[in-house]
Amino acid sequence: MAKPDRDALRALFDLAPEAAIEYLRSKGLRITFKWQEMLDEAHARSFTVAKAMRLDVLQDIRTALLGALKEGKTFLQFEKELTPLLQSKGWWGKQIVVDGDGQAQQVQLGSLRRLKTIYQTNLQSAYMAGRAQAIAQTSNAFPYMMYVAVMDSRTRPSHAALNGKIWRKDDPIWQVIFPPNGFNCRCRTRPLTEGMMKREGLEPSPPPEVLTRAVNAGSDPLTGELFPTVQTGVRVADANGKPITMWVDAGFNSSPLAGHAFDELLARKAVAALGDTAGFELVREAVLSPSRMKAWDAFIDGTLDSGVRNRAGEPAIQGQTMTVGMLPLDAAREMAARGSPVFPVLHAEDRLIIGRKARRHEAIGDALTEDQWRALPIMLKDATFYRQLDGGNVVAIMDAGKPGEVIKVVFAPDGRMDTAFVVSADSIEGSVKGGLWELLGGRRGT
C-alpha cells in the first residue's frame, strides 16, 4: 500500500516540496468546532481541524502533516505515528464535547477515516498550492495548463469530465477549478509549453460555462442552524459529448492566489514591473482580485477570532500577514526616481489589529473599527499618498466617514504597515504645509 501513496505524491508535484511545506507552515492556527465555520479562502490563510478544540492537538496534527510533506511519508506512516499521540491526549473516538457556544454533544474525534481525509486533503492542497506558485513563476514558459484527473473507479464523473481540458494558464477559469475541488480530490494540473501543444497535437478547450448556486454546507444537529454558502461549478462536455457540470465542493470555492505564497510573489512582480505599465496593472489586479479580497476578510476573521488565546485570554498574535493594497504606479515611479527604496505591494500584520499598538489606540479612542479594517483595501484604492521626508515612510490618507476626520496609515519603506489610526484632517494639512511630507504622484491612489 505504501507504493501508491508515494506515486501519488510524485504525480501531484514533480518539483521539490519546499513551496508546499511553506504553504502549510505559514498558515495561522484557527480552532473550529464545525468545518462549515471556515470555508473557501479562509483555508488558504489558516489551518484548522474541526472539533480539535485544544491548541496542542491542532499543533500536533499540523506538525505530523509537515513531517509527511518533508519526508514523503505514506498515510500508513503518518497514521502510525500520529494515532498514539492523539489517543494519549484523548482526541479519539466518539466523545461528548462542548462547542464554542457551550453546547454539549456527542461527536467523532480522531479515527482512521478522519485521519485519511486530513492527510489527503491537506497534502493535496499544499502540493497544488506549491504547483500554482511554481507555474506563476515560470512567466510565459508554460502558457497553457491541462486539467488532469486520476481516472480510476474512485474518480467522480464530473471531475473525470474535466480530464484533458486545456486553457491558458491566465484564464479566469483556473481561479474557479484549480485543484483540489473537494474532500479527497486527487486532481492536478499539467503545465504545457507551445512546443508540447504542437508535438502532442493538443488544442485549447472551448470556454466552459461558469455557474453559481446558493447551497447549505450543512446544519447544526442541535440547533438546526444552516450554513449557507455559494457553490461554483463549470459546465463542460464529457468524453461522449454530453454536457455535465462539475460543482466544486462547498468550502473549496477558492483560488491558490489567496494563499501566503502569492504575497511574496506579487511583491517581487510589482518591483520588476515598475517600467512596465501593463505588467504593473496585472499585479494590481491580482492584489485586489475578488479572491484576495475574500482572503483579506479571512485574515481579519482569523486575527480577531482564531480561538487561539494568549495567557491573558486575549486573541493571540500569530505573526500572520496579508497584502492590503498597492501604491499607484506614478507614486512608485516617483519614489524610484528619487532613489528611495520602492516596494509597491503594501501589507499588514495581525499585531497591528490586536497587539500593543491596537490596544494603545483603543485606549486613546482613535483606533480603527472592525468595519474600517475590513474596508481598508477598498479605501486604499482612493487614498492620497505622501512620503515622509524624515525616514522615507509612505503615508496613506483616507476619508474616515466623519466630518473633520481622516484615517492615517503609515507604511515602512518595505511596504509593511507600521500603524493605522484616525486623526484630524487639520493635522494632515499641518504636516504638508510644515514641509514634513511631500505628495506622491500628484493625485489620489487608484
Count of CB atoms situated within 10 Å of the CB of 212: 12
In the predicted structure, residue 69 carries a pLDDT above the cut 80: yes
Residue given cell 512620503 in the structure block = 387
Q: What SS3 string covers 160-185?
A: HCCCCCEEECCCCCHHHHCCCCCCCC
DSSP code per residue over 63-83: HHHHHHHHHT--HHHHHHHHH
CA separation, residue 437 to residues 79, 104, 405, 427 (Å): 59, 58, 18, 12
Query: What are the grid coordinates assigned to 118, written together?
Result: 486530513
Q: Compute the distance between CA of residue 385 and CA of residue 410 in angstroms, rounded to an integer.
A: 10
Q: Compute the distance between CA of residue 163 and CA of residue 175 in angstroms, rounded to an integer.
A: 17
Q: What pLDDT is recorded for position 14? A: 47
In the predicted structure, residue 345 carries a pLDDT above the cut 90: yes
- 8 A C-beta contact, residue 322 and residue 416: no
Range with the lowest mean pLDDT among 75-79, 312-316, 346-350, 357-361?
312-316
Q: Compute the distance between CA of residue 425 and CA of residue 410 in angstroms, rounded to an integer.
A: 15
Q: What pLDDT is recorded for position 258? A: 72
- 8 A C-beta contact, residue 251 and residue 36: yes
Question: Tell me: the pLDDT tens digits for 252-289?
Answer: 877 766 777 778 778 888 888 888 888 899 889 889 98
Which helix (H) or strand (E) covers residue 151, if one does?
none
CA separation, residue 419 to residues 14, 157, 307, 422 (Å): 42, 51, 25, 10
Burial 156-188 (b: 16+ CB within 10 A, else e): bebbbbbbebbbebebebbbbbbbbbbeebbbb
Query: What are the grid coordinates assigned to 40, written together?
Result: 473557501
In the predicted structure, residue 333 carries a pLDDT above the cut 80: yes
In the predicted structure, residue 367 carries a pLDDT above the cut 50: yes
**Given pLDDT bands bounded at 50, 70 and 90, which one contains residue 100?**
low
| Single-letter residue type at 78 | F
- 8 A C-beta contact, residue 379 and residue 398: yes
Q: Compute the distance between CA of residue 20 and CA of residue 127 in angstroms, rounded to an integer.
A: 5
Helix, strand, coil shares of the chain, percent, nearest 5, are 40, 25, 35
Q: What pLDDT is recorded for position 104? A: 67
Question: DSSP 3-state assignment of 154?
Answer: coil
Range with the lowest mean pLDDT among 106-110, 223-227, 276-280, 395-399?
223-227
Q: What pLDDT is recorded for position 443? A: 55
| Max CA separation in the chain (angstroms) | 73
- 8 A C-beta contact, residue 143 and residue 169: yes
Q: What SS3 string covers 325-365?
A: EECCHHHHHHHHHCCCCCCCEEEEECHHHHCHHHHHHHHHC
In the predicted structure, residue 442 carries a pLDDT above the cut 70: no
In the predicted structure, residue 58 carries a pLDDT above the cut 60: yes
**How many residues are recorded in the chain?**
446
Query: What are the grid coordinates assigned to 99, written together?
Result: 462547542
Average pLDDT, the chain: 85
Percentage of residues in the chain having pLDDT higher than 90: 44
Q: Residues 6 or more apart from 242 whose CB is under 8 A from it?
A: none
- Looking at the DSSP bridge assignments, the partners of residue 108 are 94
| Single-letter residue type at 156 | R
- 8 A C-beta contact, residue 382 and residue 445: yes
In the predicted structure, residue 423 carries a pLDDT above the cut 70: yes
Question: Tell me: the pLDDT tens digits for 4-54?
Answer: 334 333 433 444 467 788 888 888 877 776 666 665 666 677 888 877 778
φ, ψ dihedrals at 310, nearest 5°: -90, -175
- 8 A C-beta contact, residue 149 and residue 155: yes
Under DSSP, the state recorded for 139 is T
**Given pLDDT bands bounded at 50, 70 and 90, which one contains residue 291?**
confident
Q: What SS3 string covers 187-233?
A: CEEEEECHHHHHHCCCCCCCCCEEEEEEEEEEECCCCCCEEEEEEEE
